[in-house]
Amino acid sequence: MLPDNHNHFIYHGSASEMVAAAAVAGVGSIAFTEHVYHIEEARTASSYIATRFTPEGPPISHATYLDAVIAASIAAPVQVRVGIELDVRADDATTTAATDAFCAEHSRAWDVVIGSVHVIRDDVAVEGEGDHADPEAAWADYLDRLVAAAASGRYDVISHPARLARSAPHAPPFVASRYRELAATAAGSDVALEVNGTDLDRHPELVSALVAACAAEGAVVSLGSDAHRPNNAGRVLRARALLREHGVAAVAAFRGRERTLVAVR
C-alpha cells in the first residue's frame, strides 16, 4: 500500500477523520504536514510567516499539533506520520533565518519536511491572487526557485511543482526541459519530487511531464494528496497508472526524516 506524504487537518478540524478517510481510500500511511504559518511558534518567530497567508483555521502550538497527530494515530488502521510544510523563501534572509531557528527547535519530532514555493519574485503568490501579466517570466522564476530549493538540502520533498499553473495556466514549452533540470538536481541532492493530488486533478499534463522527467533523471517521487478535507484523502493514489506508464517502480516513504522506497503495485 502506498504512502501519502502531504496532508493537512487544520482546515477540516479533525486529524482522526482525515486518517479514517485515508484508510478507506487505501493508503498505507498518511503524513500530516501542516503549513508552517499554522504553528504559533513559527508565527511568533516571523512577522512574514504570521501575516503573508491567512490561516485555514485557528493557529495552534507545535505541541498541540503533535498531540493531535498522536491522538489520531492511536488504533489507526494506517500508519500516521507528522511533518511540516515550509515556505521556500531563499531571497528573504530574515524569514529564512526565522524558519531555520524554528526547525532547529522542533524538527526532531518530524518524519518529513516539505519545501513549497508559494510566492515568486516581488512576493507574488503562485495561486489565489490573480493571473500573471508575464506568464513566461513567472514560470521561469518559479522553476528557478524549485531548482534552488531542491539543491539547498533543507527539504526532504519539493512539493507541487505544477502549482503555478493555477495562475499561469498556459505553461511555456521550456517547462518540460526545466522539469528535467529540476529532476536532475533533485536526484543529485537526494531530494524527492512530489506528485501532488491537487495538481494531478487540475493539470495532469504537467504532472505527467514531471513524472517523465523524474523517470529520465532517476529522481525519487513522493506522493501527496495535499488533502485539506476527508473527501480528498488518498486522491493521489490515482497516480498509479501514470507512474507505471513512465516506469516509476517505487515511491518515497518517510519516518524520522529517513526515506525508504515502497513498490508501486
77: domain CATH number is: 3.20.20.140
The pTM of the full predicted model, rounded to 2 decimals, is 0.96
**Per-residue buried b or exposed e for 200-221, using 16+ beta carbons within 10 Å of the residue's own CB:** beebeebbbbbbbbbbebebbb
Among 228, 229, 253, 262, CA closest to 81: 253
Bridge-based pairing state of the strands 157-158 and 3-7: unpaired
Residue 93 confidence (pLDDT)? 95
Confirm if 16 and 30 have CB atoms less than 8 A apart: no
In total, how many domains does the chain have?
A: 1
Compute the distance between CA of residue 170 and CA of residue 168 in angstroms, rounded to an integer: 6
Residue 129 confidence (pLDDT)? 84
- pLDDT of residue 128 exceeding 90: no
For 258, the domain range is 3-263
| Tens digit of each residue's pLDDT (9 = 90 or more) over 65-87 | 999 999 999 989 999 999 999 99
| Tens digit of each residue's pLDDT (9 = 90 or more) over 143-197 | 999 999 999 999 999 999 999 999 999 999 999 999 999 999 999 999 999 999 9
**Residue whose C-alpha cell is 531548482:** 147
Compute the distance between CA of residue 6 and CA of residue 32 in angstroms, rounded to an integer: 6
